[in-house]
Structure 1
Amino acid sequence: MTAMTQAPAGELDIPYEGLSLSAAADFNRDGFVHLSGVLSPETIAQYEPTITSEVIRLNTQHLPLAERDTYGKAFLQVTNLWQENETVKQLVFSRRLAGIAAQLLGVHAVRLYHDQALYKEPSGGITPWHADQHYWPLSSDRCLTIWLPLQETPLDMGPLAFARGSHNFSYGRDVSISDESEARLKQAVAEQNFEDVVAPFALGDASFHRGWTFHHAGPNRGTVPRRVLTVIYMDADIRITEPTNEHQVSDRNWMPGTEVGQVPDTPLNPVLYDSRSA
């Protein structure tokens, strides 16, 4: 048996050196950015087994794929794993990852909204076109999601894909992820000539996308699950707004006790990075 190579000491807290001067500009223009070598393969290997075991333990989806709806076929979804496992918490609370988010958003500090493991099983279906911020009762668009694959993700495994520039397009923000969103937003992307950008992910790559960026993923035609950890970050000074749909009513549970107009400064939403105290 080959011993596992240890992850670089403290990598999760060491600033990422690969963020070019143009990355934030690219992110603002395109609504997303794909970065190489965000974490080392050794760090991914250190955390993936624990995340996977927690997804298996906490998963509540037990129907066969053929009996699920489109959303159910897209992935197994487990949220706020950091509350369940101290090892996962180390990764979710990484200052390295949160620091990238703050720089891309152009803010001093970011706090946690929540994490999500999204595991697309072999033969799992498409992830329909959608925009995440449809679900978020937040006062600005200063929020983003990191999409961190836990294995190499070639095109046949269904890597995340983005409609370049779609975060500036207000149509379609009223539709939840569904067959309807797939049809409406796919048509809108084509009509507006937004480029549908898809690329494979090497181990350690990650993408960051804005809340209103339209994105989707193809099916997993591979033989193993497409294992992904996502973390949603928000401007530390963002405030809660009046919900505009039932999903936003539900999503206020991720910021317990916070009233409309207040900053969600709760135990579930800690500040993960602040440049002023770095």
Structure 2
Amino acid sequence: MEKQVNELPDLDSTYEITVDQIAEYRKNGHVMIRQAAKSDEIKVYEPIFTHWVKELNYHDKPVEERDTYGKAFIQIGNLWLKSEQIKRFVTAKRFAKIAAQLMGVKAVRLYHDQALFKEPGGGHTPWHQDQIYWPFNTDKMITMWMPLVPISEQIGSMTFASGSQKMGYISKLVISDESHRSMAEYIEGKGFEKVTYGAMAAGDATFHAGWTLHSAPGNPTDTLRKVMTVIYVADDAVIVEPDSNARRSDLAGCLPGQKPGETPCSPLNPLLYSEDWEA
């Protein structure tokens, strides 16, 4: 089913982002990077991701019978450990360098990956901050969100609250109906502009900061919204004592064997890009 690794497109070539894109990210906490991966590259990788998501799908109820979180997506993490082909995509230097440049750091490591496949009839993804799950005290974490198939205007990209990343840790609320209500009120109260990028081609990508409030609409279409995400952390970020069950779970699962006060260096957090490699 899967091609040999050396038959797959090379994703280590450089994608030149602009000064304006970097400025936009740092101001708003999110940015769109068109064709971070070319359509012919994604065409090769998409069936591999689809195979593994179907293989590992844990849902045993129809969409309409699940809770809000379960309706939002099929969520499979650390797929790069399951497949050498997926590892080539997740650890790609091209994407990691974009992440480092946007954040303004010298080097980035993998925190983890996640496939987020929203089924036909799938529900919305409530407003939340990703970084409430991550046991780091830093603003140097970023998520690449890349569709593996074209996404229509009807589904669209995620919606971001521009500038919300500057508020840092807003709430410990995990993704839920409560987080959606509470964060929607917070956004309105602060007057943050809500931005969505509309239709996306396969290989387009949004990058958003760990503290940026965001949500996503449901899927009213009859096609599966296939998205792959990769989360990057600055090489010198410091792990903090977890202050919630969510963060305790992530410390154990994503940073095995590591302790507060250390920088990420577990086997699950390989270095993906460093400026030193350019010398």
Contact 2:115 2:227 survives alignment (8 Å): yes
Distance between the aligned counterparts of 1:229 and 1:13, measured in 2? 17
Does the residue aligned with 2:111 lie in a helix, a strand or coil?
strand
Q: Which of 47, 51, 54 is equivalent to 1:53?
A: 51
1:36/1:62 Cα in 2 relative to 1: closer, same or farther (>3 Å)?
same
Does the residue aligned with 1:33 lie in a helix, a strand or coil?
strand
1:149/1:66 Cα in 2 relative to 1: closer, same or farther (>3 Å)?
same
Q: Which of 35, 38, 42 is equivalent to 1:37?
A: 35
Q: Compute the RMSD of aligned alpha carbons.
A: 1.4
Residue identity in the other structure for 2:210: G
Deviation, structure 1 residue 156: 1.7
Contact 2:132 2:169 survives alignment (8 Å): no
Match of 1:4 in 2: none
Greater Cα offset, 139-148 or 154-163 = 154-163
Contact 1:156 1:219 survives alignment (8 Å): no
Match of 1:235 in 2: 234
Deviation, structure 1 residue 61: 1.1
Match of 2:3 in 1: none
Normalising to structure 1: TM-score of the pair? 0.94
Show CA shifts across 1:207-245 (max 9, x none): 000000000000101111100000000001112100011
Match of 2:117 in 1: 119
Deviation, structure 1 residue 66: 1.6
Greater Cα offset, 115-124 or 263-272 = 263-272
Greater Cα offset, 169-178 or 71-80 = 169-178
Unaligned stretches of 5+ residues in structure 1: 1-6
Distance between the aligned counterparts of 2:60 and 2:136, measured in 1? 33
Distance between the aligned counterparts of 1:235 and 1:151, measured in 2? 29
1:222/1:135 Cα in 2 relative to 1: closer, same or farther (>3 Å)?
same
Deviation, structure 1 residue 272: 0.3
Instruction: Say whether residues 1:86 and 2:87 are aligned partners.
Output: no
Match of 2:4 in 1: none
Match of 2:21 in 1: 23
Runs of 4+, deviation exceeding 6 Å: none
Residue identity in the other structure for 1:111: R
Residue identity in the other structure for 1:251: D
Does the residue aligned with 1:156 lie in a helix, a strand or coil?
coil
Deviation, structure 1 residue 109: 0.4
Does the residue aligned with 1:129 lie in a helix, a strand or coil?
strand
5 Å matches for 1:189-200? 189-199=187-197, 200=199
Contact 1:158 1:219 survives alignment (8 Å): no
Deviation, structure 1 residue 113: 0.4
Does the residue aligned with 2:186 lie in a helix, a strand or coil?
helix
Instruction: Say whether residues 1:256 and 2:278 are aligned partners.
Output: no
Contact 2:9 2:41 survives alignment (8 Å): no
Deviation, structure 1 residue 55: 0.2
Match of 2:69 in 1: 71
Contact 1:112 1:271 survives alignment (8 Å): yes
Greater Cα offset, 73-82 or 259-268 = 259-268
Match of 1:269 in 2: 269
Greater Cα offset, 55-64 or 122-131 = 55-64
Distance between the aligned counterparts of 2:141 and 2:153, measured in 1? 27
Contact 2:156 2:196 survives alignment (8 Å): no
Residue identity in the other structure for 2:256: P
Residue identity in the other structure for 1:156: Q
Residue identity in the other structure for 2:136: L
1:8/1:38 Cα in 2 relative to 1: closer, same or farther (>3 Å)?
farther
Match of 1:202 in 2: 201
Residue identity in the other structure for 1:271: L
Distance between the aligned counterparts of 2:137 and 2:43, measured in 1? 37
Match of 1:106 in 2: 104
Q: Which of 165, 179, 203 is equivalent to 2:177?
A: 179
Residue identity in the other structure for 2:148: L
Distance between the aligned counterparts of 1:181 and 1:155, measured in 2? 25
Distance between the aligned counterparts of 2:171 and 2:61, measured in 1? 30
Does the residue aligned with 1:133 lie in a helix, a strand or coil?
helix
Does the residue aligned with 1:220 lie in a helix, a strand or coil?
coil
Contact 2:136 2:240 survives alignment (8 Å): yes
Aligned residues: 270
